[in-house]
């Protein structure tokens, strides 16, 4: 039986995936989500009422609850250990952990963020040897029908690569992003993909996955990414 594993003529995106994957990370965030208090607990008359009838006063009112969430990101500066992700991924973070495909994980801190572009730059605590960074492409060169890959950590199950095409350009009013038109793609983008790269067939980042449309938060072939050129402008302000 002929072995075609090394010399197959079948089309494959494996070389592209191998090129991109080492620079993509999963992001785990520990945060504290504010808990809404009953209005009685903010009313002095309520406490006077309790005292008047000899009832016990509340000893402690919790101000929030612990929450864990996951997202994605990618290395943009190998020398300084800078990682790019969505701002909403690390919002209210008390602790951020960045994990690479090979299992290495590092604590990270926030360098800066841009709320309008929904991006954040992180710096990992220790820059590992052999770190690789992704390069940005020109998102103005994108056209409807161009092939793209999305890499990320959907639902926290681990690094995943999906492929598709650019479905539309210049989408507005979706995902809570600003008015700079978004890239629409049918490459599967699910919760946890946020912050991961959308790359072209040259391995260059043309967008950053940011949101999706679908019942129950599931993918139905409509995902959105912030164009790379918009991201770069915001990054320059942060760095």
Phi first, then psi: what are they for 141, rounded to 5°? -85, -10
Set 28, 72, 88, 114: catalytic member? 88
Instruction: Return the closest-CA partner of residue 167 out of 104, 232, 219.
Output: 219
118 noted as active-site residue = yes
Please state, in angstroms and as integers, the Cα–Cα distance from residue 183 to each residue in 158, 170, 186, 227, following that order.
24, 6, 10, 6
Sign of CA dihedral 46, 66, 91, 215: negative
Contact 96, 110 (CB under 8 A): yes
Burial 206-231 (b: 16+ CB within 10 A, else e): bbbbbbbbeeeeebeebbbbbbbbbb
| Catalytic annotation present for 236 | no
The span from the CA of 102 to the CA of 196, in Å, is 17
Say which residue the tokens 């572009």 belong to. Answer: 117
Annotated catalytic residue within 114, 118, 186, 200? 118
Catalytic residue among 194, 200, 209, 211: 194
Which residues neighbour 169 within 8 Å (Cβ) at sequence distance 6 or greater?
142, 143, 144, 181, 183, 184
62 included as an active-site residue: no
Query: Would you please indicate which residues are annotated as catalytic (active-site) residues?
Result: 88, 118, 194
């Amino acid at each position: 039986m002929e072995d075609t594993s090394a010399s197959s003529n079948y089309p494959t995106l494996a070389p592209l995936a191998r090129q991109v994957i080492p620079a993509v990370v999963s992001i785990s965030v520990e945060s504290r989500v504010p808990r809404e208090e009953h209005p009685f607990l903010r009313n002095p008359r309520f406490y006077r009422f309790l005292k008047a009838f000899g009832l016990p006063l509340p000893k402690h009112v919790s101000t929030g609850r612990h929450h864990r969430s996951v997202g994605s990101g990618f290395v943009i500066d190998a020398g300084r250990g800078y990682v790019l992700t969505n701002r909403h991924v690390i919002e209210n973070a008390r602790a951020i952990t960045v994990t690479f495909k090979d299992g290495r994980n590092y604590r990270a801190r926030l360098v800066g963020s841009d709320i309008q572009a929904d991006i954040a730059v992180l710096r990992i605590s220790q820059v590992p040897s052999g770190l690789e960074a992704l390069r940005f492409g020109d998102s103005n060169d994108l056209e409807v029908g161009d092939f793209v890959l999305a890499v990320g950590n959907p639902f926290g199950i681990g690094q995943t690569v999906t492929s598709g095409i650019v479905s539309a350009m210049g989408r507005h009013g979706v995902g809570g992003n600003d008015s700079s038109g978004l890239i629409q793609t049918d490459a599967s983008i699910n919760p946890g993909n946020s912050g991961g790269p959308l790359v072209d067939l040259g391995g260059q980042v043309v967008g950053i996955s940011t949101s999706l449309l679908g019942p129950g938060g599931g993918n139905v072939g409509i995902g959105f990414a912030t164009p790379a050129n918009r991201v770069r402008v915001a990054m320059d302000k942060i760095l």
